[in-house]
Chains A and B, each alone.
Chain A
């Protein structure tokens, strides 16, 4: 004979009334009945912090809630006037680094868009026009689009880039725009962003044939 299924402890048992658990009521002592002393106590704490903060503000002694976040006494920061700094390795909005002549360092090798797990990078490569000294040597992105809504900020594109052209060191995170279109970051916007110190100079100069910094032949030697 099949056994009855065990009763579910989360539902009311069949056929039995619900057994309540008696909770003793608090005794109505005089200091509980009279709320005024408790209210004064609470107001005292408020006033203590008020005068302390006012004094520190007037004397300029207020500890920086951002830099001294672990100091006693400060419990809140006044966001958005005060912001916690991101750690050095925080991955923010991408930027495209530039060469000395302000052209993009990106050579449109598509390594970043290949590595991107969210497939948020779309690059259209193009060849330099006739007469450009990089013509025939490398290519550049005629269009470089990152969909920041799709991006998962994993940093794989930065890892994959062989020429240090894409970085996530702007320190910015995507602000709440009001349309999807505004999250589509295009080439010129990405090239205009700087690192968190405001610099757009690269730390990794490339020495290419033809550059004054290049110790070898110039590309003019290419004519046989």
Chain B
């Protein structure tokens, strides 16, 4: 059992990180903490992708062993190079996650200017008071 866990520890770490992120997004009342939770959630998926491209035993980046003109290029043995594609995909995913964080931070600024608070409970309280005020008027 322990061996089973250790042999796939990268997947366990990604699942645990993902759960921490989900917990922060749902359980925390502070909007910044929710945002950090979202970031942890995205990062866990990046870890997952990057770890599936890893190969043990001295594998390296793929290099074409060119023999000059007229000869065919041929790859070195498959076991000796890493798959670069998951890493390249994750470069894009990192950019997406940065953009999402940026937009979320901008909305947080708007929320703070409006309610002077980033605690969900306080914002809900202010909103409820405002609706009752509007209805009584």
A interacts with B? no
Question: A residues touching B (Cβ–Cβ < 8 Å)?
Answer: none
